[in-house]
Amino acid sequence: MARKYFGTDGIRGLTNIAPMTAAMAMKVGMAAGAHFRRGDHRHRVVIGKDTRLSGYMLESAMVAGFTSVGMDVTLVGPMPTPAVAMLTHSMRADMGVMISASHNPFADNGIKLFGPDGYKLSDVDEMAIEALIADDVPLAPAAQIGRARRVEDARGRYINSAKATFPSELTLDGLRIVVDCANGAAYNVAPSALWELGADVVAIGVEPNGKNINDGCGSTAPQLLRETVVASGAQIGIALDGDADRLIVVDEAGRVVDGDQLMATIAMGWARRGLLKNGNLVATVMSNLGLERYLAEHGLGLVRTKVGDRYVLEAMRTRGCNVGGEQSGHIILSDYATTGDGLVAALQILAEIVRAGRPASEVLHRFDPLPQVLKNVRFAGGKPLDDARVQAVIADAEAELNGKGRLVIRPSGTEPVIRVMAEGDDPAQVEAVVDRICDAVRAAV
């Protein structure tokens, strides 16, 4: 059965338009609370959010939903998604909630749910919650309605947890770092953690006003970071997204380093020190073929998954791997976190630079990526990828690229779009292949 509300990363949409309304947020709170009420102890949920204006509304609605079914609520305010995951587990809560639309514009918002172990929910749990949303959830008797309270030391707990992942024998003394927090959830914790580890910190994107999250800043808009790194003479720039589970880096020359290069750097460093488990890195089908070839040259493997950090993590847990992520900068280091953590990943990158004693430009650019083209085709309905003409064009393209490149075609999990990606040694061939497939999809719809 297809899920109605949950996408690849929780529930997401334009605020005050279904499903991202206060009424739905309250229903999700009621349904999720009912689903996770197991046993006769006082049940508790941790709720965090990013800096969007709509976070106040959705937070209040979810508090009403959870307390109405007898769950106590612990509010931690604006905090990174990985912090909510960590706090859910460390505080022995029954579940956690992050109210955020990640890297999306401020008008969007979303709801991400975590189980008591700090991991995102399985498809089975999400389907069960969806069924409860559509049903009448039993409300708690008056004497058993939940309470809500705010925890004031949540930021300190997360900062200490993140700092503990940085090797104790190293220091960031003398390193000038520009950190762009996207006017989002990490606007306070990321600069503080870096400064406490000894860095000379230049912080940008740290003045949230409810509407400027991800607006011309952060991991999806690195131009401001590039300019600031060069102008300030910094050795490196770090860009997080709105909920700080994503990391993009800029080297001292202002060049952007994507998630594939960052994962390669961490995997190689950990492999040298005997820390990389199972000899594999886990990434999605969107990671560049250059990454796969680079790892193979050094005796390491690349395990590919569907797009979505939840699928990366699932493969990591199944195969016993401890490094994985996405080209977009979601990097999961399961020795330290149960989800992508931009700050923790950045600290591992900084550790590699400190150990090497060389500029970021030399340490982080591990391989030359193959030419990669990604184009989107919007459609109004139906299943264009099932069309026989489209399938024939795709088959021809795969035969043409065999041994010289890769083809990835998939429907978006968040919008009515077919994403067509190809990569290979010949950029002209890659461009032509993508155009032919896009034309066939347009003809089919």
Torsion of CA 92, 97, 103, 109, to 10 degrees: -170
Strands 247-251 and 236-240: antiparallel
Q: Tell the burial category of 303 from Cβ atoms under 10 Å away from its Cβ (0-12, 13-18, 19+).
A: middle
CA dihedral 222, 226, 227, 228 (to 10 degrees): 100
d(CA 233, CA 254): 10
Cβ-count burial 343-356 (b if 16+ within 10 Å, e if not): bbbbbbbbbbbbee
**DSSP state string for 21-60:** SHHHHHHHHHHHHHHT--SSSPPEEEEEE-S-THHHHHHH
Name the CA radius of gyration of the chain, rounded: 22
Q: What CA–CA distances, in Å, run from 141 to 34, 69, 381?
A: 13, 8, 45
* Whole-number Å distance between alpha carbons of 181 and 342: 10
Phi-psi region of 369 (alpha: psi -120 to 50; beta: other; left: phi over 0): beta
CB-based contact 326:283 (threshold 8 Å): yes
Token pair in block for residue 389: 């003409």
121/111 Cα distance (integer angstroms): 12
Active site residue 168: no
Is-contact 275 247, C-beta < 8 A?
no
Phi-psi region of 357 (alpha: psi -120 to 50; beta: other; left: phi over 0): left
Catalytic residue of the set 100, 102, 161, 328: 102
Residues identified as active-site: 102
